Amino acid sequence: MPILEARSLTKTFRRPDKASGFKGAVKHLVQRKYKNYTAVDGIDLSIEPGESVAYVGPNGAGKSTTVKLLTGILRPSEGTVRVMGRDPHTERIANAHDIGVLFGQRTQLWWDLPVEESLKLLKHMYGVSDADYQARIAKFDELLDLGEFMPALARTLSLGQRMRADLACALIHAPKMVYLDEPTIGLDISVKDRLRAFLRELVDDGTTLLLTSHDLADIEEVCERIVVIDKGAIAYDGPIQQLKAHYITTKAVHLILEGPADVPALAGKFPDYEWAAGESPSEVVVTYESNRFTTAEVLGGLTSQLAPRDLSLSEPSIEDVIRRLYAGELTK
Amino acid sequence: MSSALAVDRAFAVIAFKRRLAYKTQWLVGLVLGGGAMLVSMAMWRELLSGGALSGYDWDAMRAYVIIGFITATMVFGAADWQIADRILDGHVAVDLTKPVDFQRARAAEFVGSMCSTIPTVAVGVAGAWLLFDPPGPASATAGVLTAASLVLVFPLAFGITYLTVLVCFWTKRYLGVMWLREALLAFFSGMMIPLAFMPSWLQAVAWALPFPHFTTTPSAIYLGHVDTAGALGLLAAEAAWAAGLWFGARLVFNHAVKKVTVHGG
């Protein structure tokens, strides 16, 4: 039975329809006009317990609005949501006991108090026992180095510390379902790595995770399934590996030759491959279809005839695939 | 302590600590509130030097001004901005993911922040007592009922403040709403001038509103302007307003929460 199930989930907002400039402002004051804007458009989503799902899409695609619908903050205009069998909006308090939420752009720490005070208040809110609280704080300290800034005022924390503290706040009650909305936004690479390792451990422990992020490394390292949303509707829903296998059909070899690369001549000599100049005059990029040629036969042919000084292999990233999905070049 | 009360207490303590985190603000509150009380005392001493006006002589007015100082400090010192800011900047979204009743949590915070004004009230009242030696309550019963009236100011102040803060869901601004509320409260409560100095029609308007219970009710009980039955009637009206505002705010919130839009992250 799914832990989360959304059917035909739709959210429409009313926005002022105002012309620009002074005239537009005056006209809107006298005669107000509004336009309906559909942020989420008939989404069907089902998540099984223990799944880790990436929910990605370009800015304004409806990711955060979906999270707010799933967490009960917003009431759907149409459609239904059930989280652990409950309607998260009408049964908000009961639902909140079982979920953890982190909004990367909004802290849940009390700004002018030590981090520890915020966590203690959350302990009371969720009815966490002293023993569980101590055990979880110890674990967060071990994985997120929480102890170093527990006594610090929230407003004095760096962004990375703030995000780690917010993550602890979202997980202090060991929720079954966790929503993370841009948890690594603005963080440096070392803090991101730490957070990702922490999230992998969380998923390994059986927590169900829905993650929205613009950082595709978050997604590849933490999630098994990806849901791509664009203009409020789902453009792709399936395993990340399947997305890659289905859409990543080319690979590339970067060759560094002994002298300058003559790209047109090379293209004439090896017409089955696509040739492009590299970053330096002696570098050339050879792209081939991985379902037609094996890497071994491509490398064998190229190295025997061109004797490159160096070479490296690359394949398009998930980021390239998603970029093409957004651009409408790929279909479900 | 039940777990729900423990959560209320935790919210109140957090709000109390947040207020005390800004010591300068506490000092400014004391200086401004104490200064306003001193100016008021000087003005009324001059005005009443020729004898009593509208039932208030200098003795009664000293007690009245001190009670006005207590309620004004408690009500205007509470942290209504913090609730309004959370609605306006979208942090209400975070609050709605917590397993607590939104209104009850805000009430606990409000009471906590009102309690943070107690040191200001204590210092101000002690100073005023030393300087002006006001009369005691009309009777021991009046003293107890005055204290009850001051306790009821907590839920009453929360009800009015919370309702006006909820208006932010529609107005998307708070400053004007706050100014309007504070002006109405200062005028119709009798904090600026006792209601007895106003024409009878304006007094009738005031008594049709909850505001007189902030200053006029506790001072009328304290000074013995009403007998015990009258005092109990005023307390019942004050409690009824507090309860009415509480349940009215629930209805408004249930409607307001549908207005949550919180676009973007």
Residue by residue, what is the 3-state secondary structure of chain A?
A: CCCEEEEEEEEEEEEECCCCHHHHHHHHHHCCCEEEEEEEEEEEEEECCCCEEEEECCCCCCHHHHHHHHCCCCCCCEEEEEECCECCCCCHHHHHHHEEEEECCECCCCCCCEHHHHHHHHHHHHCCCHHHHHHHHHHHHHHHCHHHHCCCEHHHCCHHHHHHHHHHHHHCCCCCEEEEECCCCCCCHHHHHHHHHHHHHHHHCCCEEEEECCCHHHHHHHCCEEEEEECCEEEEEEEHHHHHHHHCCEEEEEEECCCCCCHHHHHHHCCCCEEEECCCCCEEEEEEECCCCCHHHHHHHHHHHHCCCEEEEECCCHHHHHHHHHCCCCCC
Instruction: Provide, as residue numbers in chain A, all residues whose Cβ is less than 8 Å from the Cβ of B10.
Output: 120-121, 124-125
Which residues on adjacent β-strands are paired with residue A208? Answer: A177
CB A295 within 8 A of CB A286: no
Closest CA–CA distance from residue A197 to any residue of chain B (Å): 23
∠ Cα A9 A13 A18 (to 5°): 155
Q: Residue B264: inside a domain, yes or no?
A: no
- What's phi and psi for A107, nearest 5 deg? -80, 155
CB A107 within 8 A of CB A184: no
Q: Residue B213: inside a domain, yes or no?
A: yes
Q: Residue B265: inside a domain, yes or no?
A: no
How many C-beta atoms lie closer than 10 Å to residue A61's C-beta?
A: 22
Do B265 and A104 count as a contact with CB atoms less than 8 A apart?
yes
- Sequence-distant (6+) residues with CB within 8 A of B131 are B41
Q: Model confidence over B225-240: pLDDT tens digits?
A: 999 999 999 999 999 9
Instruction: With cut-offs at 50, 70 and 90, classify the pLDDT of residue B23.
Output: confident
- Decide: residue A27, CB within 10 A, 0-12 exposed, 13-18 middle, 19+ buried: middle
Show which residues on chain A lie within 8 Å of chain B, measured between beta carbons: 13, 39, 64-65, 68, 71-75, 92-94, 96-97, 99, 101, 103-108, 110, 112-113, 117, 120-122, 124-127, 181-182, 185
Q: Residue B36: inside a domain, yes or no?
A: yes
Tokens representing A99 are: 């979920």
CB B181 within 8 A of CB B214: no
Instruction: Provide, as residue numbers in chain B, all residues whose Cβ is less than 8 Å from the Cβ of A34.
Output: none
Mutation site, A92, A111, A212, interface B, largest B CB count within 10 A: A92
Q: Model confidence over A177-223: pLDDT tens digits?
A: 999 988 888 777 888 888 888 899 899 999 999 999 888 788 888 99
CA distances, A122 to each of A27, B58, B140 (Å): 48, 51, 43
Q: Which residue has the higher pLDDT, B24 or A79?
A: A79
Closest CA–CA distance from residue A74 to any residue of chain B (Å): 7
Nearest CA in chain B to A117: B14
- In this complex, the residue of A64, A108, A113 whose CB is nearest that of residue B14 is A113
Q: Which residue has the higher pLDDT, B114 or B217?
A: B217
Q: Residue B20: inside a domain, yes or no?
A: yes
Residue B71's pLDDT is 92
- What's phi and psi for A253, nearest 5 deg? -115, 130
Nearest CA in chain A to B91: A106
Q: Residue B151: inside a domain, yes or no?
A: yes
Residue B1's pLDDT is 54
The whole domain housing B12 covers: 3-259
User: What does pLDDT average to in each consecutive run of 10 residues of chain A (332 residues)?
Assistant: 94 79 73 83 94 89 90 93 95 94 89 91 93 93 87 91 91 94 82 87 93 85 91 89 80 90 90 90 90 88 89 80 71 54
Residue A331's pLDDT is 58
| Residue A272 backbone class (left: φ over 0; alpha: ψ -120 to 50; beta: rest) | alpha
pTM: 0.82
Angstrom distance (rounded) from CA A234 to CA A229 = 4
Give all domains of chain A, ordered by start, each with its CATH number: 4-245 (3.40.50.300), 249-315 (3.30.70.920)
- In this complex, the residue of A74, A97, A113 whose CB is nearest that of residue B18 is A113
Do B264 and A64 count as a contact with CB atoms less than 8 A apart?
yes
Instruction: Provide, as residue numbers in chain B, all residues whose Cβ is less than 8 Å from the Cβ of A36.
Output: none
How many C-beta atoms lie closer than 10 Å to residue B258's C-beta?
A: 12
Instruction: Provide, as residue numbers in chain B, all residues whose Cβ is less than 8 Å from the Cβ of A117.
Output: 14, 17
Show which residues on chain B lie within 8 Å of chain A, measured between beta carbons: 3, 6-7, 10-11, 14, 17-18, 21-22, 90-91, 93-94, 96-101, 257-258, 260-265
Question: 3-class DSSP state for residue B198?
Answer: coil
Residue A184's pLDDT is 84
Number of domains within chain B: 1
Instruction: Provide, as residue numbers in chain B, all residues whose Cβ is less than 8 Å from the Cβ of A71.
Output: 96-97
Closest CA–CA distance from residue A291 to any residue of chain B (Å): 40
Angstrom distance (rounded) from CA A102 to CA B54 = 60
Instruction: With cut-offs at 50, 70 and 90, classify the pLDDT of residue B265.
Output: very low
Instruction: Provide, as residue numbers in chain B, all residues whose Cβ is less than 8 Å from the Cβ of A125.
Output: 7, 10, 98-100
Q: Residue B94: inside a domain, yes or no?
A: yes
Query: Is pLDDT of B264 > 50?
Result: no
- In this complex, the residue of B6, B22, B93 whose CB is nearest that of residue A103 is B93
End-to-end CA distance of chain B: 38
Count of pairs with CB atoms under 8 A, one residue in A, one in B: 79
Q: Residue B238: inside a domain, yes or no?
A: yes
Q: Which residue has the tokens 């009403």?
A: B226
Residue B229's pLDDT is 96
Closest CA–CA distance from residue B102 to any residue of chain A (Å): 9
Instruction: Provide, as residue numbers in chain B, all residues whose Cβ is less than 8 Å from the Cβ of A121.
Output: 10-11, 14
Do B7 and A92 count as a contact with CB atoms less than 8 A apart?
no
Q: Model confidence over B94-122: pLDDT tens digits?
A: 999 999 999 999 999 999 988 888 888 89
Angstrom distance (rounded) from CA A197 to CA A143 = 8
CB A175 within 8 A of CB A100: yes
Mutation site, B13, B96, B102, B109, interface A, largest A CB count within 10 A: B96
- In this complex, the residue of A103, A112, A124 whose CB is nearest that of residue B265 is A103
Do A72 and B90 count as a contact with CB atoms less than 8 A apart?
no
Mutation site, A36, A38, A68, interface B, largest B CB count within 10 A: A68
